[in-house]
């Protein structure tokens, strides 16, 4: 296994040195090939995701493959522009000559994916990585073994390994990959493993982008459109059974509207997945036993307001709402990453904002209010990766919005042009003319030169 990894790694280093993906034509060819092999293998990819956690073909297309196809189309349309050498002002002090920025690939790139949206998170970042001209190794999560195998099966026979290759495996191969001197590492996963990745990357001074998680709050104000808030929160929380990095982790709702909101929320949950989610094709299972047990340990029976039913043998946990929750409760300590929704009521929004300022900076935040003043205040006062006003999740689906965290929820971002920039080194070059050289910078320094430099530079 390690030998195969070394072999592919060395091939990719050589390929990078030979400038294999410097021609934009070749990069576009790779993107079109990726779209083609994914489209040709849709049935296989959808079957694999169903085997991993019971996700329907519709959902896996809508929340995974569609986003990849959208990224590919947008990139193909704009690559010439994004990758163009840029002219920048040169300045009189540097006369004669010109200054240019050359967008360049980093070289060979490692992408480590999480299991919860396996295609979107492993193959999605490969789109900007290839577009920027890098050779790419993707390491999907071993926790979703069928989708991991499907990606290897679809990518490896269709792409030259020196350009794009999928390496499967768990912690050992990943740690081996992390020990190699890649030119860039792009990691999606937990904050805990993100720290290990950054430590390993530091050994080789490899730049990292870390797409991590966190507890993303959802705040509902009395002046919100309550029915719409309930609809959009119900969808965003229980999509993928809450196993979404930007799912609303918990809801903060004003005491005055709490009961009304909760009734509307239950109505919307049942509208989406019926009164018995066990029978719904729109409701997925928990990825493995370890996560199932972790979630059950957070489920305080005395606080269940709705749901709570679970079946260990099926790794099934019904959509569950918990009330009378306190900030000190175990469920409020770490990202939940499952279909449990704690609801905390509040009286004073300013107090809520002060509390949120003391917590680790989350990947997302959702605010439901019609007050423009409060919208502005929350955007200005709180630090979080990104989010929505009066919606959940959907900011991830607009490739014109950079996606990424801040602080404990990550560093760096991608999607659209931002993804291209994430995988690009901007090489600055000054090209000088040789027919003239002003004597100002050379000693001996005189009073006149001192005066002149002040006039030139300001
Ligand atoms: P994880 O951190 O356990 O695993 C992610 C990857 O790291 C996997 O490929 C895994 O093989 C590898 N890995 C695990 N342990 C390792 C170790 N000790 N050394 C080296 N590599 C190791 O995360 P997960 O369970 O797959 O995903 C869930 C987490 O990811 C949640 O916190 C979620 O919020 C976060 N997430 C973030 C985003 C985002 O875009 N920001 C998207 C999805 C998930």
The domain locations on the chain are 2-212+410-426, 217-404
Given the residues 46, 64, 211, 345, the one annotated as active site: 211
Does 96 sit behind a cis peptide bond, omega within 30 degrees of 0 on the bond before it?
yes
Query: Which ligand 1 atom lies nearest to the CA of residue 114?
Result: 26
Centre of ligand 1 from the C-alpha of residue 98, in Å: 45
Instruction: Note the pLDDT of residue 26.
Output: 98
Count of other CB atoms within 10 angstroms of residue 265:
26
Instruction: Note the pLDDT of residue 54.
Output: 86
CATH architecture group of domain 217-404 = 3-Layer(aba) Sandwich (3.40)
Count of other CB atoms within 10 angstroms of residue 290:
10
Q: Alpha-carbon distance 278 to 416, whole Å?
A: 37
Q: Alpha-carbon distance 432 to 420, whole Å?
A: 29
Query: Is 141 touching ligand 1 by the criterion CB < 6 Å?
Result: yes
- Encoded tokens for 236: 């965003």
Same topology, domains 2-212+410-426 and 217-404? Answer is no
Q: Alpha-carbon distance 382 to 365, whole Å?
A: 9
**CB proximity list for 442: less than 8 A, separation 6 or greater:** none
HEC string of the chain equals: CHHHHHHHHHHHHHHHHCCCCCCHHHHHHHHHHHHHHHHHCHHHHHHHHHHHHCCCHHHHHHHHHHHHHHHHHHHHHHHHHHCCCEEECCCHHHCCEEEEEEEEECCEEEEECCCCCHHHHHCCCHHHHHHCCCEEEEECCCCCHHHHHHHHHHHCCCCCCCCEEECCCCHHHHHHHHHCCCCEEEEECCHHHHHHHHHHHHHCCCCEEEECCCCCEEEECCCCCHHHHHHHHHHHHHHHHHCCCCCCCEEEEEHHHHHHHHHHHHHHHHHHHCCCHHHCCCCCCCCCHHHHHHHHHHCCHHHEEECCCEEHHHCEECCEEECCCCCCCHHHCCCCCCCEEEEEEECCHHHHHHHHHCCCCCCEEEEECCCHHHHHHHHHHCCCCEEEECCCCHHHHCCCCCECCCHHHEECCECHHHHHHHCEEEEEEEEECCCCCCCCCCCCCCHHHHHHHHHHHC
Find the distance separating the first CA and the last CA of the chain, reported in whole Å.
60
Q: Alpha-carbon distance 196 to 237, whole Å?
A: 29
Counting ligand 1 atoms within 8 A of each CB, the residue from 68, 114, 124 with the most, and so the one to mutate, is 114
**pTM across the whole model:** 0.95
Instruction: Note the pLDDT of residue 193.
Output: 97
Instruction: Note the pLDDT of residue 282.
Output: 85
Report the phi/psi class of residue 91: left, alpha or beta, with left for phi > 0 and alpha for psi in -120 to 50: left
Q: Which fold would CATH assign to domain 2-212+410-426?
A: Aldehyde Dehydrogenase; Chain A, domain 1 (3.40.605)
Name the burial class of residue 275, with classes exposed (0-12), middle (13-18) and buried (19+) by CB atoms within 10 angstroms of its CB.
Answer: exposed
Query: Which ligand 1 atom lies nearest to the CA of residue 196?
Result: 19
Residue 211 a catalytic site member: yes
Residue 245 a catalytic site member: yes
Query: Is 113 touching ligand 1 by the criterion CB < 6 Å?
Result: yes
Counting ligand 1 atoms within 8 A of each CB, the residue from 53, 140, 173, 190 with the most, and so the one to mutate, is 190
Query: Which ligand 1 atom lies nearest to the CA of residue 192?
Result: 2
- Encoded tokens for 283: 């409701």
Polymer length in residues for the chain: 458
**CB proximity list for 83: less than 8 A, separation 6 or greater:** 24, 103, 131, 132, 133, 420
Instruction: Note the pLDDT of residue 92.
Output: 82
Are 396 and 421 a contacting pair, CB within 8 Å?
Answer: no
Are 130 and 137 a contacting pair, CB within 8 Å?
Answer: no
Counting ligand 1 atoms within 8 A of each CB, the residue from 171, 189, 211, 409 with the most, and so the one to mutate, is 189
Instruction: Note the pLDDT of residue 216.
Output: 98
Instruction: Note the pLDDT of residue 93.
Output: 82
pLDDT per residue rounded down to tens, the chain (458 residues):
889 999 999 999 999 999 999 999 999 999 999 999 999 999 999 999 999 988 889 988 998 999 999 999 999 999 999 999 999 999 888 889 999 999 999 999 999 999 999 999 999 999 999 999 999 999 999 999 999 999 999 999 999 999 999 999 999 999 999 999 999 999 999 999 999 999 999 999 999 999 999 999 999 999 999 999 999 999 999 999 999 999 999 999 999 999 999 999 999 999 999 888 988 888 999 999 999 999 999 999 999 999 999 999 999 999 999 999 999 999 999 999 999 999 999 999 999 999 999 999 999 999 999 999 999 999 999 999 999 999 999 999 999 999 999 999 999 999 999 999 999 999 999 999 999 998 888 999 999 999 988 887 77
- Encoded tokens for 273: 């997945």
Q: Alpha-carbon distance 108 to 276, whole Å?
A: 48
Query: Is 251 touching ligand 1 by the criterion CB < 6 Å?
Result: no
Centre of ligand 1 from the C-alpha of residue 211, in Å: 9
């Amino acid at each position: 296994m390690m030998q195969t990894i070394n072999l592919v790694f060395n091939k990719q280093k050589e390929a990078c040195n030979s400038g294999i993906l410097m021609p934009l034509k070749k990069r576009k060819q790779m993107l079109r090939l990726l779209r083609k092999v994914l489209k040709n293998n849709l049935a296989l990819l959808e079957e694999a995701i169903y085997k991993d956690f019971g996700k329907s073909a519709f959902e896996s297309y809508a929340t995974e493959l569609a986003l990849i196809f959208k990224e590919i189309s947008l990139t193909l349309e704009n690559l010439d522009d994004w990758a163009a050498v840029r002219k920048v002002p040169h300045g009189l002090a540097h006369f004669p000559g010109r200054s240019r920025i050359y967008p360049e690939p980093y070289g060979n790139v490692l992408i480590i994916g999480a299991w919860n949206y396996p295609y979107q998170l492993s193959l999605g970042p490969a789109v900007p990585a290839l577009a920027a001209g890098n050779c790419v190794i993707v390491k999907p999560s071993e926790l979703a073994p069928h989708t991991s195998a499907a990606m290897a099966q679809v990518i490896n026979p269709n792409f030259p390994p020196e350009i794009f290759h999928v390496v499967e495996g768990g912690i050992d191969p990943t740690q081996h990959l992390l020990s190699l001197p890649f030119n860039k590492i792009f990691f999606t996963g937990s904050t805990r493993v993100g720290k290990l990745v950054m430590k390993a990357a530091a050994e080789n001074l490899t730049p990292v982008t870390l797409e991590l998680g966190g507890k993303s709050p959802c705040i509902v104000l009395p002046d919100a459109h309550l029915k719409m808030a309930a609809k959009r929160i119900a969808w965003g929380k229980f999509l993928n059974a809450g196993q979404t990095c930007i799912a609303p982790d918990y809801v903060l709702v004003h005491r005055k509207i709490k009961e009304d909101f909760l009734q509307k929320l239950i109505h919307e949950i049942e509208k989406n997945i019926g009164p018995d989610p066990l029978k719904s094709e729109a409701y997925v299972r928990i990825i493995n036993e370890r996560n199932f047990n972790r979630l059950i340990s957070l489920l305080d029976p005395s606080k269940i307001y709705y749901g709570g039913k679970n079946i260990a043998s099926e790794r099934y946990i019904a959509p569950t709402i918990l009330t009378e929750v306190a900030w000190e409760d175990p469920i409020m300590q770490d990202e939940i990453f499952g279909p449990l929704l704690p609801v905390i009521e509040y009286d004073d929004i300013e107090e809520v904002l002060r509390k949120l300022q003391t917590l680790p900076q989350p990947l997302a935040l959702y605010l439901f209010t019609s007050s423009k003043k409060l919208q502005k205040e929350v955007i200005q006062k709180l630090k979080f990766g990104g989010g929505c006003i009066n919606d959940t999740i959907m900011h991830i689906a607009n490739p014109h919005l950079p996606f990424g965290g801040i602080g404990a929820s990550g560093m760096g971002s991608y999607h659209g042009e931002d993804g291209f920039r994430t995988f690009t080194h901007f090489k600055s070059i000054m090209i000088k003319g040789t027919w003239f050289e002003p004597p100002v910078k050379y000693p001996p320094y005189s009073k006149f030169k001192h005066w002149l430099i002040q006039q030139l530079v300001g």
